[in-house]
Amino acid sequence: QKARIGVTGLAVMGRNLARNLARHGHPVAVHNRTPTRTKSLIEEFGDEGTFLPADTPEQFVASLERPRRLVIMVKAGAPTDAVIGEFAPLLEPGDMIVDGGNANFADTRRRESALREQGIHFVGTGISGGEEGALHGPSIMPGGSAESYAALGPLLEDIAAKVDGTPCCTHVGPDGAGHFVKMVHNGIEYADMQLIAESYDLLRHAAGLEPAEIAEVFRTWNEGRLESYLIEITAEVLAHTDASTGRPFVDVVLDQAEQKGTGRWTVQTALDLGVPVGGIAEAVFARSVSGHAALRDAARNLPGPSRAGGVGSGFADAVEKALYASKIIAYAQGFHEIQAGSAEYGWNIDLGAMATIWRGGCIIRARFLDRIRAAYEADPETPTLLTDDHFAEAAGEAQDAWREVVATAARLGIPAPGFSTALAYYDSLRAPRLPAALTQGQRDYFGAHTYRRVDREGSFHTLWGGDRSEVTA
Known catalytic residues are 182, 189
Sole window of 12-20, 162-170, 380-388, 461-469 interacting with ligand NBP (rule: CB under 6 A): 12-20
The verdict on whether omega for the bond into residue 79 sits within 30 degrees of 0, i.e. cis, is no
Tally of helices (H runs) and strands (E runs) in the chain: 20, 11
Instruction: Based on the shown chain and the rule CB under 6 A, indicate whether residue 41 belongs to the binding site for ligand NBP.
Output: no
Instruction: Based on the shown chain and the rule CB under 6 A, indicate whether residue 10 belongs to the binding site for ligand NBP.
Output: yes
- Kindly give the pairing relationship between strand 162-163 and strand 139-142: unpaired
Q: Which residues contact 285 (CB under 8 A, 6 or more apart)?
A: 417
Looking at residues 66 to 125 of the shown chain, list those that interact with ligand NBP (rule: CB under 6 A): 73-76, 79, 82-83, 101-102
Least separation in angstroms between residue 14's CB and ligand NBP is 6
How far is the CA of 449 from the CAs of 441, 456, 472, in angstroms?
A: 9, 18, 12
76 or 422: CB nearest ligand NBP: 76
9 appears as a binding residue in the annotation: yes
Least separation in angstroms between residue 7's CB and ligand NBP is 10
Three-class DSSP category at 125: strand
Least separation in angstroms between residue 191's CB and ligand NBP is 18
Could you say which of 20, 32, 333, 342 contacts ligand NBP (CB under 6 A)? 32
Least separation in angstroms between residue 28's CB and ligand NBP is 15
Given a contact cutoff of 8 angstroms between Cβ atoms, the answer to whether 2 and 27 are in contact is yes
What span, in angstroms and rounded, lies between the C-alpha atoms of 7 and 51?
10
What span, in angstroms and rounded, lies between the C-alpha atoms of 233 and 249?
13
Least separation in angstroms between residue 304's CB and ligand NBP is 38
Q: Which class for 460: exposed (0-12), middle (13-18), buried (19 or more C-beta within 10 A)?
A: middle
Instruction: Based on the shown chain and the rule CB under 6 A, indicate whether residue 39 belongs to the binding site for ligand NBP.
Output: no
Looking at residues 319 to 348 of the shown chain, list those that interact with ligand NBP (rule: CB under 6 A): none
What span, in angstroms and rounded, lies between the C-alpha atoms of 70 and 328?
38
Could you say which of 130, 413, 415, 441 contacts ligand NBP (CB under 6 A)? 130
In the complex, the residues that contact ligand NBP under the rule CB under 6 A are 9-14, 32-34, 37, 73-76, 79, 82-83, 101-102, 127-128, 130-131
- The annotated binding site for substrate is made up of 102, 128-130, 185-186, 190, 260, 287, 443, 449
